[in-house]
């Protein structure tokens, strides 16, 4: 089958009622994750040939606005809330069964990547990969998986989000932004020295639930174009004020050596960006949907969405698959050299196609972790138990990174 025939087949098999714009927004947000990690992450090579995490933003802070574009988790949670409320409304049985199905779909790929890495670590160590490199790799693998845990929690809150959206519409998200603002005031205000360091953890749930709640309101038809404009303008103004007046860090991703970070846990700046992105997404929804009526544009969106969890779980492994072998050759510009030179900035984009190709190759085999589990035979249960034990072993290794 030719590519043109495949594209036409995908388009023909898409139901007429399918909201292509929502799928397009999800695909865009998904692609932003590996693109951001590959462009804004790097390595340094120590004297023993081990790789350590580094970021070009430590030296080139002027490129922080790139992270504003690539930090699209707000859009991902928005469309997640939209899709969840539609799925929840069509659930064939109980809420508990619906939630269980959602959790299993999220958990299978995570179990797969952590189990495989648990098997790979001793093999790589025996092959001469330094332990420090393996610990760097474990950090990178764990890095995007926090999102899955948070997403699972907000998904479990879908029934409550539906009830709130039914009563308050788009305003159901307002208390969440107020909660994050209050915690930020305590963390960064005049009495910050008297506040315990763990207080920021209180922002994790409301910080990421904010855009999800907006998506639920949108899915219920309770978020109008007027509300979208309020989100776009209000989020943009708040974002600018936080940067220029309250001196929030400019980067939307963590920068090694910086005392403050916007994303872990989310600060008010993350919610301001999510609000602006959500407003823009709603206002552009119609145009995006019309553009994706073109089969050539729609087919890649379908493929990306079908491989969503594979992309999320394995994109860091793809980068490591290039960097670890290169580390044995020494300093390779843009790959194993420190990301603090103009040469690195010029060379890094040239490695992106290789990372993407390696991810496609890995996905060819890792996609099976997104498929439904086999029926509950003795052999299937034994394999799942073994995978669980391996994943737990990897977690022990990863959690000892400090």
Q: Is the separation of the CB atoms in 143 and 316 below 8 Å?
A: yes
Domain assignment present for 13: no
- Looking at the structure of the chain, the number of domains it has is 1
Cα–Cα distance between 187 and 178 in angstroms, integer? Answer: 14
Q: How far apart are CA 66 and CA 64, in angstroms?
A: 5
- Using DSSP bridges, classify how beta strands 42-45 and 51-54 pair: parallel, antiparallel or unpaired: antiparallel
The answer to the question of residue 60 being in a domain is yes
Residue found by looking up tokens 């603002």 in the block: 181
pLDDT score of 194? 86
b/e 139-170 (16+ beta carbons within 10 angstroms → b): ebbbebbeebebbbebbebbeebbebbeeebb
In angstroms, what CA-CA distances link 162 with 219, 220, 318?
9, 8, 38
In a domain, 162, yes or no: yes
- Which residue segment(s) compose the domain that 393 sits in? 18-399
* pLDDT at site 375: 62
* 92 in a structural domain: yes
Taking the C-alpha atoms of residue 76 and residue 217, their distance in angstroms, rounded to an integer, is 15
**How many residues are given for the chain?**
402
Measure the CA–CA gap between 158 and 164, rounded to whole angstroms. 10
- Asked if the bond preceding 180 is cis, omega within 30° of 0, the reply is no
Domain annotation covers residue 6: no
Per-residue pLDDT for the chain (402 aa), expressed as one digit of tens each? 678 888 889 988 999 889 999 999 999 999 999 999 999 999 999 988 999 999 999 899 899 999 999 999 899 999 999 999 999 988 888 899 999 989 989 989 999 999 999 999 999 999 999 999 999 999 999 888 888 889 999 999 999 999 999 999 999 999 999 999 999 999 998 888 888 988 999 999 999 999 999 999 999 999 999 999 999 999 999 999 999 999 999 999 877 777 788 988 999 999 999 999 999 999 999 999 999 999 999 999 999 999 999 999 999 999 999 999 999 998 899 999 999 999 999 999 999 999 999 999 999 999 888 877 766 666 667 777 887 888 888 888 877 754
User: Residue 9 domain-assigned?
Assistant: no
**Which pLDDT score is estimated for 402?**
43
Residue 307 confidence (pLDDT): 92
Query: What contacts 204, CB < 8 A, 6 or more positions away?
Result: 150, 265, 266
Q: Is residue 81 part of a domain?
A: yes
Q: What is the pLDDT of residue 256?
A: 74
Considering only CA atoms, which of 342, 324, 353 is closest in space to residue 43? 324
Which residues on neighbouring strands pair with residue 42, listed in sequence order? 54
**Residue 7: inside a domain:** no
| DSSP-assigned states of every residue in 239-299 | HHHHHHTS---S-SS--TT-S--SBTTB-HHHHHHHHHHHHHHHHHHHHHHHHTTSHHHHH
DSSP state of 75: H
């Amino acid at each position: 089958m030719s590519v043109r025939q495949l594209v036409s087949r995908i388009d023909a098999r898409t139901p007429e009622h399918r909201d292509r714009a929502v799928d397009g927004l999800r695909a865009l947000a998904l692609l932003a994750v590996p693109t951001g990690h590959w462009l804004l992450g790097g390595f340094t090579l120590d004297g023993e040939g081990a790789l350590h995490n580094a970021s070009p933003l430590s030296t080139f802070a002027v490129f922080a606005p790139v992270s504003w574009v690539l930090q699209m988790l707000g859009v991902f949670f928005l469309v997640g809330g939209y899709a969840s409320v539609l799925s929840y409304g069509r659930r064939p049985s109980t809420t508990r069964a619906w939630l269980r199905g959602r959790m299993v779909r999220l958990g299978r790929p995570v179990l797969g990547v952590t189990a495989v890495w648990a098997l790979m670590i001793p093999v790589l160590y025996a092959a001469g990969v330094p332990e420090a490199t393996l610990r760097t790799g474990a950090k990178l693998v764990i890095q995007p998986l926090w999102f899955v845990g948070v997403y699972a929690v907000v998904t479990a809150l879908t029934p409550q989000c539906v009830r709130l959206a039914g009563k308050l519409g788009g305003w159901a998200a307002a208390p969440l932004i107020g909660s994050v603002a209050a915690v930020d005031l305590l963390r960064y205000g005049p009495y910050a020295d008297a506040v315990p360091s763990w207080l920021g953890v209180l922002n994790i749930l409301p910080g990421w639930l904010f855009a999800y709640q907006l998506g639920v309101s949108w899915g219920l038809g309770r978020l109008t174009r007027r509300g979208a404009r309020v989100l776009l303008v209000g989020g943009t103004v708040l974002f600018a004020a936080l940067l220029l007046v309250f001196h929030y860090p400019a980067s939307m991703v963590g920068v090694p050596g910086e005392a403050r970070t916007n994303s872990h846990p989310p600060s008010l700046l993350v919610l301001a960006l999510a609000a602006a992105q959500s407003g823009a997404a709603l206002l552009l929804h119609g145009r995006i949907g019309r553009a994706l009526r073109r089969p050539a544009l729609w087919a890649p969106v379908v493929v990306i969405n079908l491989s969503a969890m594979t992309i999320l779980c394995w994109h860091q492994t793809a980068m490591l698959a290039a960097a670890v072998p290169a580390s044995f050759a020494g300093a390779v510009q843009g790959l194993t050299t420190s990301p603090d030179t103009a040469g690195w900035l010029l060379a890094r984009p040239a490695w992106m196609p290789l990372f993407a190709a390696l991810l496609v190759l890995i996905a060819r085999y890792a996609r099976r972790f997104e498929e439904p589990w086999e029926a509950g035979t003795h052999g299937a249960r034994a394999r799942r138990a073994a995978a669980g034990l391996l994943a737990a072993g990897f977690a022990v290794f990863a959690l000892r990174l400090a």
